Amino acid sequence: MGNKRKRQVRGIKIQNINICMILISCILYVLLIVATVDASHRYKVMISAMGNYINCEEDAALVKEASDYLTEQVRLYTVTMDPVYVDRYFNEVYVEKRREIAMDQMSYYHTNAMAYEYFHTALENSDKLMEQEIYAMKLITIAQGYEMSDFPEDIREYTILEEDQFLSPDEMTEKARNLVFSSEYQKAKEDISGNVSYFLDNIIDNTMQEQQKSVVDLKRTMTGQQILISVLFVENILMFVLIILLVIKPLKIYIENIEDKEKLSVLGSYEFKYLALTYNNIYELNATNEAMLHYRAEHDPLTGIINRGAFDRLRQLLKGKQAPLALLIIDVDKFKQINDGFGHEMGDQVLKKVARLLEESFRSTDYIARIGGDEFAVIMTDVREDMKPLISDKIKQINDDLQHPGDDLAKTSLSVGIVFSSAGFPEDLYTKADKALYNVKENGRCGCVFYDEKE
């Protein structure tokens, strides 16, 4: 029966919805985490590009500063002839080494080939200019007659041109100054600055391209995040609506059904529908059992008509009514002789026949009851005293059937006491009917007598 009921249930299973929602949520959260990580990566790329540009700009400035510093020291030496400027010059070249540091950092930042070429050219030009500057310092050193061993190896080992060997000290000094102050020297310096500028321009362009690409990618990633968040929001709303429709609403209706002692409405999710069907089956079974118990409590098990308890409750119920009624108290004549002579089984069959004849003879709105062993009662509703002939005819017809049985049952008859009431079932109504019954028995049984107040 349980499996059959399961097959009859149609509906959405909360378990399946939960599984689907959990899977969708997990997928969306994973995608959201991936999008977040990607957005973080794009942001880091932008920051890295800007950081590379700043570092490249610093390195370019470092090269320019180093180159200008070397120019400054060599010029001061050619003007003042103070060897301290030579020491400073070579300290920059071999100790500080700002140009080499900048070059190494350039390769670390992975600048593009064209930018690196500009920067490399600037360094090469600076190196060439250094040779010119060292030559100028060599000429000054010779012109001043300084001890060559006191100067760096670069100056000591630098060979001067043959045509310059025969110059006078003043001429050497003049040539040395021309080498570092001439327009050609200044142009070489400008070429170095130009290459550095080209390098920076290229770096700027490259940085801008990387940033624009990163911005586009970041926007796309953020759009994806917004879509995922929107989908999660819609999923939560959908889940909330489903919970209301499939869980909360059915629960409220079920509570109302239970409070009203009704069967549960079959609605909501599969689980709630299954619960409702199961409850309704139990409800129907309990109702059937209750009805059966109620029926047994109110009906005589032998004849099937209402018993003495139900008759007494009916009397109490009709006390406060204002409608007219009639009460008939009925005895089966000589029933003890039937039991003793034919047996209790015959007696039971006679009682069943009496109950059946009473039910067939009176209306469905009348109440037929067995109030004792062979004693019956009939409460007729909405009757008046002018119906006495009709009632008498009914009793006569029943007695005819009982005295002339065609079913092999023992002959018998009924004695009936009848009383009318204009308003409900007063306390003395039963006593009056019983008095009328007594009169019937005193006058030979097998008939009916109507109670008369005058007697």
Contacts of 225 (CB under 8 A, 6+ apart): 32, 35, 36, 39
Q: Please confirm, yes or no, whether 374 is among the known catalytic residues.
A: yes
What is the rounded CA–CA span in Å between residue 5 and residue 279? 12
Residues in the chain: 455
Q: Which of 300, 374, 393, 408 is catalytic?
A: 374
76: left (phi over 0), alpha (psi -120 to 50) or beta: alpha
How crowded is residue 290: how many other Cβ atoms within 10 Å of its Cβ? 10
> How many whole angstroms separate alpha carbon 343 and alpha carbon 165?
169
Please say whether the dihedral angle defined by the alpha carbons of residues 34, 40, 43 and 45, taken in this order, is positive or negative.
negative
- Of 358, 351, 356, the closest CA to residue 373 belongs to 351
Please report where in the chains the tokens 């009914």 appear, as a residue: 394
Rounded to whole angstroms, how far apart are CA atoms 186 and 192? 10
| Active-site residue set | 374
